[in-house]
Amino acid sequence: MEKDLIVLGIETSCDETAASVIKNGTIILSNVVASQIESHKRFGGVVPELASRHHVEQITIVIEEALKEAGLTLSEIDAIAVTEGPGLVGALLVGVNAAKAIAYTNNIPLVNVHHIAGHIYANRLIKEMTFPLISLVVSGGHTELVYMREHGEFTVIGETRDDAAGEAYDKVARTLNLPYPGGPHIDRLAHEGKPTIDLPRAWLEEDSYDFSFSGLKSAVINTLHNANQKGITIDSKDLAASFQASVIDVLVTKTIRAVKEYKVKQVLLSGGVAANKGLRTALEEAFNEMPDVDLVIPPLNLCTDNAAMIAAAGSVLFERGKRSDLSLNANPGLDIEHF
Ligand code: KG4
Ligand code: ZN
């Protein structure tokens, strides 16, 4: 019998300090996330300096807790997977330095992981990957369609030209005076309203898989502004529903077109916006009509930032021989196709 592969994952790219231990790439032994959302809320978004300070305060406690919950000591860890980028540089540095220190003092191999590769591999904690596949990645910082021919190979076939989907959700939420992060609030309101307001859909060039959400965001803001000036009140539920309908329409339509063109066997939904109920339902309905394509949607706690996803990606990369060393540095602009 082969020995189990035990990987410790560390994630600090934005506003969650997270550590997780997973076995054989798919079994979660622990998944600890310390969220800073409450601290950033009053500023309406993530304050980078505050994020770094919180990570420094939390990182040791979170790693110790992850090991304790897994019932393991560092001597039983085969590899440490850490988010190298993209993200906030000061935040990333805390995770990278913690990982390097533990790797060095305990003589454990280190694997650098791309944050979005992590979001994609969150799906492998639910179901084995079948290639070729496409992942629709929708997070606070990214909106991408990523094609994978096999493990560890990522090709970006489309990406946002301006705002990420989550960013658009958060900005629209702010306009509606909803707390940060706004995505879940818009999602909730959208289900209580009706998409009665006509908002634009940025399809871009006919053959493009790129996205653009800044025009839609501005249209929402203008709609509110114009109504205010005329003394008309707009139902924020209907506005949320209309905004959400536009986002989902573009995301789902482009995903289906890519799935057909690239003849993929599986579609993975990844990133924080994957927690969106409307998007999950729309994809499920669309892929019910395509029984040859396997749609995988992770549970909510694996959609938003966590370290189990970093450990999951790190496990596969480690098995494929990927190693980092003590020269590893945080890379806020890391490219998923070359890392
Ligand atoms: O992946 P993530 O946790 O962090 C990044 O890597 O960016 O994504 C956070 C984003 C935020 O913009 C948040 O508003 C959005 O995910 N989000 C949602 C929902 N839950 C979280 N957006 C829409 N609907 C939701 N239910
Ligand atoms: Zn993320």
CA distance 242 to 238: 6
Is residue 242 assigned to a domain?
A: yes
167 and 210, same domain (yes or no): yes
Residue nearest to atom 1 of ligand 1 (CA): 272
Pairing of strands 79-85, 6-11: parallel
Is residue 273 assigned to a domain?
A: yes
Mean pLDDT (the chain) is 96
Domain total for the chain? Answer: 2
Among all bound ligands, the one having the nearest atom to the CA of 33 is: 1
Q: Which residues surround ligand 2, an ion (CB under 5 A)?
A: 139, 305
153 and 224, same domain (yes or no): yes
Q: Which amino acid is at 334?
A: L
Residue nearest to atom 16 of ligand 1 (CA): 272
Range of the domain at 57: 6-121+303-319
Tens-place pLDDT, residues 276-335: 999 999 999 999 999 999 999 999 999 999 999 999 999 999 999 999 999 999 999 999
183 marked ligand binding residue: yes
Q: Which amino acid is at 128?
A: E
254 and 234, same domain (yes or no): yes
Whole-model pTM: value is 0.96
CA distance 84 to 82: 6
The alpha-carbon radius of gyration of the chain (Å, integer) is 20
Q: What's the 276 CA to ligand 1 centre distance in angstroms? A: 8
CA distance 2 to 177: 55
pLDDT band for position 47 (50/70/90)?
Answer: confident
Is residue 212 assigned to a domain?
A: yes
Please state the φ and ψ torsions of residue 232, each to the nearest 5 degrees.
-95, 140
Residue 304 has a pLDDT of 93
Mutate to test the pocket of ligand 1, among 92, 137, 139 (most ligand atoms within 8 A of CB): 139
Q: What's the 205 CA to ligand 1 centre distance in angstroms? A: 27
Residue 21 three-state SS:
strand
Angle, vertex CA 13, rays to CA 12 and CA 15, nearest 5: 75
187 marked ligand binding residue: yes
Average of pLDDT values for 101-126? Answer: 98
Residue 115 has a pLDDT of 97
73 and 134, same domain (yes or no): no
139 and 231, same domain (yes or no): yes
pLDDT at 91 over 90: yes
Is residue 263 assigned to a domain?
A: yes
Q: Give me the numbers of helices (H) and strands (E) for the chain, helices first please.
A: 11, 10
44 and 193, same domain (yes or no): no
325 marked ligand binding residue: no
Pairing of strands 155-159, 143-148: antiparallel
Residue 221 has a pLDDT of 94
166 and 245, same domain (yes or no): yes
- What percentage of the chain carries pLDDT values higher than 90? 93
Residue 279 CA: nearest ligand 1 atom is: 24
Among all bound ligands, the one having the nearest atom to the CA of 186 is: 1
Tens-place pLDDT, residues 216-260: 999 999 999 999 999 999 999 999 999 999 999 999 999 999 999
CB 141 within 8 A of CB 88: no
73 and 51, same domain (yes or no): yes
305 marked ligand binding residue: yes
223 and 250, same domain (yes or no): yes
pLDDT at 130 over 80: yes
Q: Which residues line ligand 1 (CB under 6 A)?
A: 14, 139-141, 166, 169-170, 181-184, 187, 271-273, 275-276, 304-305
Q: What's the 164 CA to ligand 1 centre distance in angstroms? A: 10
- Whichever domain contains 214, its CATH number is 3.30.420.40
Tens-place pLDDT, residues 137-186: 999 999 999 999 999 999 999 999 999 999 999 999 999 999 989 999 99
88 and 160, same domain (yes or no): no
185 marked ligand binding residue: no
142 marked ligand binding residue: no
Mutate to test the pocket of ligand 1, among 83, 169, 268, 281 (most ligand atoms within 8 A of CB): 169
Is residue 51 assigned to a domain?
A: yes
Residue 37 has a pLDDT of 84
- With b meaning 16 or more CB within 10 Å and e meaning fewer, what string describes 43-52? eebbbbebbb
Q: What's the 142 CA to ligand 2 centre distance in angstroms? A: 8
Residue 300 CA: nearest ligand 1 atom is: 20
Mutate to test the pocket of ligand 1, among 273, 281, 301, 302 (most ligand atoms within 8 A of CB): 273
Residue nearest to atom 23 of ligand 1 (CA): 183
Q: Which two tokens stand for residue 229?
A: 């000036």
Q: What's the 1 CA to ligand 1 centre distance in angstroms? A: 41
Tens-place pLDDT, residues 28-44: 999 999 988 888 888 88
Tens-place pLDDT, residues 6-32: 999 999 999 999 999 999 999 999 999
184 and 279, same domain (yes or no): yes
176 and 313, same domain (yes or no): no
pLDDT band for position 1 (50/70/90)?
Answer: low
Average of pLDDT values for 72-81? Answer: 98
CA distance 242 to 274: 18
Q: How many CB atoms lie within 10 A of CB 79?
A: 23
Furthest-apart CA atoms within the chain: distance in Å? 73
Beta pairing partners, 155: 147
The DSSP code for 283 is: H
207 marked ligand binding residue: no
272 marked ligand binding residue: no
Pairing of strands 16-23, 110-114: unpaired
Q: Which two tokens stand for residue 336?
A: 């998923």
